[in-house]
């Protein structure tokens, strides 16, 4: 059963605490700046401490062996290591405990290096006292630690891709090629997205129509792929491995269970109503100019392009990233085909990052495209057939007559992004673009497990970038699919349903669908969805009935740590 959450039978009660405290010298890193012997002696006298030992390096082969030996010989059922940071070493010490037959959650970490010997390097006495007290607090907490067992969740071998543009199609094919079922949902009647209206692509100058056409045909023929057009996601519930989705496609309701979801909803171009006399005839958007070029209907002797129209302005501060290269590409195409046509690009800053794009910028200038810099404080003034631009470099107003004025407007979030964001419980940024879990380390993941994103849904990106992101998202999404199950850290909330009154506050404050109200014979009660609970504890700290217990960070454990020092002078 894919939606079954399995957890081994709760580990046996470890019994009355017998705590082993291991104090690490870290060479001279710790021992050189504190009185390490005094620290060990202090630890030995603490309640429930059955054994103490100093190690030159607790994390070395020898140190780990000493822990394992002591667990067996001294019948330790809790281990405290006083050394460095859990960020780097917690997994190591936990697995040492596991190897010695001790549940890894009966391990407690005290950081006397970063928090004592390093920050108080010049204060030996104070650092020593602080180390003693941090260990005292750690021991108090350790006495109350409970064993936890890993939680494993089955994963449905199917993916849902939302959005049938180049990103969504690429992600679909990539996942299907790995042997998994994929449902591709497109809101429009046809696949293709924004590329359907694009003429040629920079920097290859290949045809956008050919590229997207080839991809559409390929995805439609692909085994394991179900393409749904005129379709939208109506409802979603569940968690990684087991998202229950309801899709409306051409009036038909389709229900299914998918293991992962990829958001590839793209973006749309801003229509510059009220900006620079936009009229859709001789004053058009760069996107409409694409269409004129594509249909071979461009007829103008003087073309002016204005950049950053409605972008990088108060209220829409971001750079849309693709408009500079789009303008340069179109300017090159026009000058190559009709060298007698004058092309002016009025810009604020030119973004042609990287090797190929900068080359195109150079080429456009060689082809005689005029680049004129304007300042946001003195924007170009447009009348019916002429633009007056204040040239930043000349310091004077320059009138330029035009037959066609093309306004480069930014990509903006797709309509309906907020509904999708709410349905999936994934965040958007202040502009309405979907927000990844981490800009650098997890660029195509959402913070919610099992949901990924790529392409312009995230922020404006060109074809190459969108395809890279789609392949990345597909690869990330395939991890749980190919494993068939996901392991979840067992630090989760536990509801005492006898105390719970079903008020639902926990569900409201949870950002992860980690807890929800469910019908029980005694009425509505909260229930943890262990697969999606992240253990942050927000529900536990909010519960009016105090019916939620946060495993590994219980009220009792935290309060014991707080009051462990009563009577000592802090």
Partner 1 sequence: MIRIIRVMCTGRVDPAFVVWALANEFDAVLVVGCRIGDCHYSSGNLAARRRMRILQAFIKKNGLPPERLRVEWISSAEATKFSKLVEEYAGQVKALGPMQKDDGTRLRLLAMKRALEEEKVRWLIGNEKKLVEEGNVFGDKLDQERFDAAVLGALEDEFNKNLIAVALEKAPASVPELAALSGLKEPAVGEYLVALEQAGRIAPVAGHEEYARYTKI
| Residues in contact with partner 1 by the rule CB under 8 A | 86, 111, 115, 119, 126, 129-130, 133-134, 137, 427, 447, 491, 503, 505, 508-509, 511-512, 534-538, 540-546, 550, 553, 555, 558-559, 561-563, 565-567, 570
Distance CA 80, CA 15 (A): 17
Minimum distance from residue 559 beta carbon to partner 1 (Å) = 6
* Exposed/middle/buried for residue 87 (C-beta within 10 Å: 0-12, 13-18, 19+): exposed
| E strand spans, 158-205 | 158-162, 181-185, 200-201
Say how far residue 200 (Cα) sits from the centre of its chain: 32
Q: Are strands 19-24 and 49-55 parallel, antiparallel or unpaired?
A: parallel
Minimum distance from residue 546 beta carbon to partner 1 (Å) = 6
Q: Which is nearer to partner 1, 144 or 509 (CB)?
A: 509
Q: Which is nearer to partner 1, 135 or 262 (CB)?
A: 135
The three-class DSSP label of residue 257 is strand
Give the chain's radius of gyration (CA, Å).
Answer: 31
Minimum distance from residue 75 beta carbon to partner 1 (Å) = 28
Q: Which structure tokens are listed for 434?
A: 């979907």
Q: What is the DSSP letter of 410?
A: P
Minimum distance from residue 214 beta carbon to partner 1 (Å) = 39
Q: Which is nearer to partner 1, 138 or 380 (CB)?
A: 138
Minimum distance from residue 511 beta carbon to partner 1 (Å) = 4
Helices (H), 347-409: 355-366
CA-nearest of 18, 39, 36 to 26 is 36
Q: How many CA atoms lie within 13 A of 351 on its CB side?
A: 13
Q: Which is nearer to partner 1, 116 or 372 (CB)?
A: 116
Distance CA 94, CA 550 (A): 20
Q: Which is nearer to partner 1, 201 or 453 (CB)?
A: 453
Q: Which is nearer to partner 1, 368 or 544 (CB)?
A: 544
Minimum distance from residue 543 beta carbon to partner 1 (Å) = 7
**Phi first, then psi: what are they for 358, rounded to 5°?**
-65, -35
Minimum distance from residue 104 beta carbon to partner 1 (Å) = 17
Q: How many CA atoms lie within 13 A of 264 on its CB side?
A: 38
Distance CA 392, CA 81 (A): 64
Sign of the dihedral defined by the CA atoms of residues 363, 364, 370, 372, in that order: negative
Minimum distance from residue 115 beta carbon to partner 1 (Å) = 6
Distance CA 158, CA 175 (A): 9
Minimum distance from residue 389 beta carbon to partner 1 (Å) = 38
Q: Which is nearer to partner 1, 110 or 474 (CB)?
A: 110
Per the DSSP assignment, residues forming a β-bridge with 51 are 20
Q: Which is nearer to partner 1, 179 or 556 (CB)?
A: 556
Q: Which is nearer to partner 1, 273 or 430 (CB)?
A: 430
Q: Which is nearer to partner 1, 135 or 333 (CB)?
A: 135
H or E, element range at 304? strand 302-306
CA-nearest of 182, 95, 157, 151 to 486 is 151
Minimum distance from residue 316 beta carbon to partner 1 (Å) = 18
């Amino acid at each position: 059963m894919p939606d079954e959450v399995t957890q081994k039978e709760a580990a046996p009660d470890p019994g009355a605490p017998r705590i082993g405290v291991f104090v690490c010298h870290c060479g001279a890193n710790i021992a050189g700046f504190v009185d390490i012997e005094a620290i060990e002696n202090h630890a030995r006298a603490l309640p429930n401490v059955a054994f103490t030992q100093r190690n030159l390096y607790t994390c070395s082969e020898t140190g780990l062996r000493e822990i394992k030996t002591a667990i067996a010989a001294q019948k330790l059922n809790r281990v405290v290591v006083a050394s460095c940071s859990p960020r780097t070493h917690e997994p190591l010490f936990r697995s040492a405990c596991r190897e010695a037959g001790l549940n890894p959650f009966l391990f407690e970490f005290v950081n006397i290096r970063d928090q004592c010997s390093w920050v108080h390097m010049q204060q030996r006495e104070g650092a020593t006292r602080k180390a003693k007290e941090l260990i005292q607090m750690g021991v108090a907490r350790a006495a109350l630690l409970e064993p936890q067992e890993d939680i494993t969740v089955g994963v449905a071998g199917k993916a849902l891709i939302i959005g049938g543009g180049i990103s969504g199609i690429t992600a679909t094919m990539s996942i299907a090629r790995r042997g998994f079922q994929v449902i591709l949902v497109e809101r429009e009647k046809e696949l293709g997205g924004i590329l359907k209206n694009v003429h040629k692509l920079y920097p290859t100058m290949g045809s956008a129509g050919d590229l997207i056409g080839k991809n559409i045909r390929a995805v439609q023929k692909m085994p394991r792929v179900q393409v749904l057009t005129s379709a939208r996601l109506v409802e979603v519930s569940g968690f990684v491995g087991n998202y229950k989705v309801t899709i409306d496609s051409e009036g038909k309701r389709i229900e299914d269970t998918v293991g992962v979801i990829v958001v590839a909803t793209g973006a749309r171009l801003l229509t510059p109503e009220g900006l620079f006399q936009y009229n859709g005839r001789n004053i058009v958007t760069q996107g409409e100019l694409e269409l004129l070029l594509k249909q071979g209907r461009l007829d103008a002797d003087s073309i002016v392009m204005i950049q950053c129209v409605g972008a990088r302005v108060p209220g829409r501060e971001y750079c849309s990233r693709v408009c500079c290269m789009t303008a340069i590409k179109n300017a090159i195409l026009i000058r190559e085909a009709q060298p007698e046509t004058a092309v002016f690009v009025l810009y604020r800053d030119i973004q042609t990052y990287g090797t190929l794009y900068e080359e195109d910028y150079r080429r456009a200038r060689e082809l005689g495209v005029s680049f004129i810099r304007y300042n946001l404080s003195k924007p170009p003034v447009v009348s019916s057939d002429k633009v007056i631009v204040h040239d930043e470099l000349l310091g004077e107003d320059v009138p330029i007559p035009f037959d066609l004025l093309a306004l480069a407007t930014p990509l903006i979030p797709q309509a309906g992004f907020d509904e999708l964001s709410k349905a999936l419980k994934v965040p958007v940024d202040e502009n309405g673009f979907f927000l990844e879990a981490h800009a650098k380390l997890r660029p195509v993941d959402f913070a919610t497990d099992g949901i990924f994103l790529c392409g312009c849904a995230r922020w404006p990106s060109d074809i190459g970038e969108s395809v890279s992101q789609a392949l990345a998202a597909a690869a990330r999404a395939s991890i749980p699919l190919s494993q068939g199950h996901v392991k979840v850290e067992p630090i989760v909330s536990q509801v005492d349903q006898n105390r719970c009154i079903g008020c639902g506050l926990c569900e409201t404050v949870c950002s992860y669908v980690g807890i929800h109200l469910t019908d029980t014979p005694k009425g509505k009660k909260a229930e943890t969805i262990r697969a999606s609970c992240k253990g942050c504890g927000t529900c536990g700290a909010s519960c009016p009935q105090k019916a939620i217990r946060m495993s590994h960070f219980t009220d009792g454990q935290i309060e014991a740590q707080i009051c462990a020092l009563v009577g000592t002078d802090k």
